[in-house]
Structure 1
Amino acid sequence: MPTPTLQHGDRPDGQGAHRFTILHIAQSSGGGVARVVADLAARQKTRGDRVVVACLPDTRLSTAAAQGGAEVRVWNARRSPGPALLKEAADLRRIVDRVRPDVVHLHSSKAGLAGRLALRGALPTVFQPHAWSFEAVTGPMAVATVRWERTGARWAHRLVCVSDGERGQGEAAGVHAAYTIVRNGVDIGHFDSTTAPSRETVRARLGISASTPLVVCVARLCRQKGQDVLLAAWPSVVDRVPGARLVLVGDGSDRAALAARAPSAVSFAGDVADPRDWYIAADLVTLSSRWEAGMALAPLEAMACSRPVVVTDVPGAREFLPPRHATDCLVPRDDPAALGGKLTHLLADRASGRALGKQAHDYTCRHHSVDQVVERMYAVYGDAVRAWTDGVRPG
């Protein structure tokens, strides 16, 4: 196992003679995780660091990472744990030996599992769950997953959560770790509504009438994201806002089941590389998740585009919303009636929607730039390396 070259007290910011080598590892190679990793990698590369991303080949993440200047190493790993886990961990160990990183940043549950098994604290290790794995399962699997997270926490020098709510979930489950909160950020320059194409231009490009009341949901089509609740709420919206249209942007395991029950006023746009046009075209954006990491990217991107968002009150959701959004735009989980009521109100009251959108844009630009995330993550890396060099080893 290589020894980190960063010395205690060095600044891992790419500004000095030392070039910090960062290894990002992720099995999740699409959706929000891919955008987080790709954004981090690209900006760390511009600071002069050597950045390596280990992920599935021929995916959105591998392509974006390469375009951002990162080295890409192939890590073939399945989404769920199984018989191949030990081989996946051994493959990661070989990648680490070749890269010789100063710090390893593990993203999401599968990389967190395989990576911590492979390293066991032998290098400065940062784990970022991007939503706890035990939130996605029930019964004996949930018990086993919690036990693993408690054990695995010993092998991470820093555990990064995106919200106080996500950290609270971990602590409540008995996952004791060196936590740091780094709230999600987005590429303001790309999503900023003041520099993006106009709503009229985008709607013409997408084939949507300028007068159509439009709600957009950008998310993987799966139980976590709760599109079934959104579909259950939608008939009540159309009853009160004639001509309203809902577009689900994304793909996933539940697409066929959702399409089979979708009303006629619902469209499926499929997976898109860049959802910006859909945010700009929308009158409002919604996310009806049953659970999240505490701060999903889609609402932040929509707010940067000056769009109001209606989201479920999952742990951490209130933390990324502007004050008025936190009172006017949150709904309980699994409550179609409440969701439909909020959507109807904002579609019918365009002035309130525009005011909320303006507040959302200003708030996101101030508090949720990806550049702010990068600065905070460098501090996390520095803490992890110092803990490693000072002998504060997990386990």
Structure 2
Amino acid sequence: MTILHVSQPVDGGVARVVVDLVRGQRAAGCRVLVACPSGGRLAREAAAAGARVLDWPAERSPGAGVAREAWRLRRIIRRTEPDVLHLHSAKAGLAGRLAARGTPPTVFQPHAWSFAAVDGALAEASLRWERHATRWARTVLCVSERERADGEAAGLVADWRVVPNGVDLEHFAPADPASRRAARMTLGLDRSDPLAVCVGRLCRQKGQDVLLDAWTRVQLARPAARLVLVGGGPDAEALSEQVRSLPDPSRVRMVGDVADPRLWLAAADLAVLPSRWEGMALAPLEAMACGRPVLLTDVPGARECLPPGERERAVVPPENSAAMAERLVEFLGDRAECERRGVLARSHMADHHDIRGVIQQVAAVYRTIVRSGAVPVGRTDRVPQRF
């Protein structure tokens, strides 16, 4: 089977999902292609995982260049003749469905709905597009039941499949106490300070501004507590200014984008992600796989990814800095309880979010749509030899 993944964005959780799929699909003997913009992490890591990477210049947001982006993608599809076209996130879903119009069999994976990310006329336009474009996807693949339910509630008619995100449990593994102490020493952190870590792109979606609003209250109740923001993005400057306005800016660090967050997760007592919207965020799964408890906002995928006993306690309403501050003060005040909750979180990841199971479920989706007769009659060369 030849699989063509198309993705824009080229960083963050979406890129990691694509790379994990590439690695598993290559191991299963598939020929895997990835069309994406050059220069990002995705192109480099997908190539290292065994994919043939094809340059697809595309901006992250919709704009005047969409028609040209779709035309370029149509040329890639015609040249490579994939058995399955897998489109990741809103922008690739827009250009890819315009380019392919359902041939070859197409899987669209929104990774969070575009109409949830905007307001007003733009949200209405995004919703109208999604209602129209579902006809050009053989399957809409959601990463949480709530993401699927939100799509149905918005009037989208599709062949729905839900495959929750997963993580590599060998790569993201709990650190022993000695390794955790060593991580703190390496990062210049005091062993006794309660530490919350937020891993995510610095942008409106991830809500770090709400977390910093909450941190003002946390500093009054837990002056020894530290916060680290791991990630880069368009809001870095504004967030830096917000940090400087805190009662004690020295207790907050912004470390920029890092290739591997495991050292920061090993050092943390708690991982926090204050998102405004998601499908099912990958960063909390990685934290829990590393044996760290999490605090999340109640967005799609949040409750579903948590152990049953955490689904009320470890979520707060989106954009509610007071509720977030209250829970942060509670959690950071009992580091032994954080350890206990982290053990439960790791066990839950092993049972429900192993990347190997995700790869198998996605492969089953592919087999279903290919066997349904969507592949054009008369095609014999399923693995193109030249590009």
Q: What is the TM-score with the length of structure 2 in the denominator?
A: 0.93
1:250 equivalent to 2:231? Answer yes
Aligned to 2:33: 52
Q: Deviations over 1:216-266 (max 9, x none)?
A: 001111111111110011122122222211111111111111111112021
Please say if residues 281 and 301 of structure 2, whose CA atoms lie closer than 8 Å, have aligned partners that are also in contact.
no
Aligned to 1:306: 291
1:378 equivalent to 2:363? Answer yes
Deviation larger for 185-194 or 299-308: 185-194
1:228 to 198, 201, 209: 209
Aligned to 2:260: 274
Structure 1 counterpart SS, 2:170? helix
1:285 equivalent to 2:271? Answer yes
Q: Distance in 2 between matches of 1:137 and 1:319?
A: 24
Q: Deviations over 1:186-226 (max 9, x none)?
A: 11110111589811121222121212211000111111111
Q: Deviations over 1:96-144 (max 9, x none)?
A: 1221111000000010000000010121100000010111111111111
The sequence identity of aligned pairs, in percent, is: 54
Q: Distance in 1 between matches of 2:100 and 2:373?
A: 13
Please say if residues 104 and 375 of structure 2, whose CA atoms lie closer than 8 Å, have aligned partners that are also in contact.
no
Aligned to 1:8: none
Shift of 1:351: 2.0
Structure 1 residues 111, 197: CA separation in 2 closer, same or farther (over 3 Å shift)?
A: farther
1:344 equivalent to 2:325? Answer no
AA paired with 2:282?
L
Deviation larger for 24-33 or 264-273: 264-273
Please say if residues 277 and 299 of structure 2, whose CA atoms lie closer than 8 Å, have aligned partners that are also in contact.
yes
Please say if residues 228 and 252 of structure 2, whose CA atoms lie closer than 8 Å, have aligned partners that are also in contact.
yes
1:93 to 65, 74, 83: 74
AA paired with 2:111?
H
TM-align CA RMSD = 1.4
Structure 2 counterpart SS, 1:268? strand
Q: Distance in 2 between matches of 1:222 and 1:204?
A: 29
Structure 1 counterpart SS, 2:111? coil
Aligned to 1:31: 12
Aligned to 1:10: none
Structure 2 counterpart SS, 1:220? coil
* 1:98-247 paired onto structure 2 within 5 Å: 98-193=79-174, 198-247=179-228
Shift of 1:316: 2.8
Q: Deviations over 1:57-92 (max 9, x none)?
A: 121000100110111000000112222111111111
AA paired with 1:338?
A
AA paired with 2:168?
D
Please say if residues 124 and 388 of structure 1, whose CA atoms lie closer than 8 Å, have aligned partners that are also in contact.
no
Please say if residues 103 and 374 of structure 2, whose CA atoms lie closer than 8 Å, have aligned partners that are also in contact.
no
Aligned to 1:318: 303
Structure 1 counterpart SS, 2:312? helix
Q: Deviations over 1:130-180 (max 9, x none)?
A: 010111111111111101001110000010001111011111111110010
Aligned to 2:345: 360
Q: Distance in 2 between matches of 1:163 and 1:196?
A: 33
Please say if residues 41 and 70 of structure 1, whose CA atoms lie closer than 8 Å, have aligned partners that are also in contact.
yes
Shift of 1:390: 8.4
Structure 1 counterpart SS, 2:183? helix
Deviation larger for 119-128 or 323-332: 323-332
Q: Distance in 2 between matches of 1:103 and 1:136?
A: 28
Question: What is the aligned length?
Answer: 371
Please say if residues 86 and 106 of structure 2, whose CA atoms lie closer than 8 Å, have aligned partners that are also in contact.
yes
Q: Deviations over 1:10-60 (max 9, x none)?
A: xxxxxxxxxx11100001000000000001001111111101111111210
Q: Distance in 1 between matches of 2:28 and 2:40?
A: 25
Please say if residues 221 and 252 of structure 1, whose CA atoms lie closer than 8 Å, have aligned partners that are also in contact.
yes
Q: What is the TM-score with the length of structure 1 in the denominator?
A: 0.91
Please say if residues 157 and 387 of structure 1, whose CA atoms lie closer than 8 Å, have aligned partners that are also in contact.
no
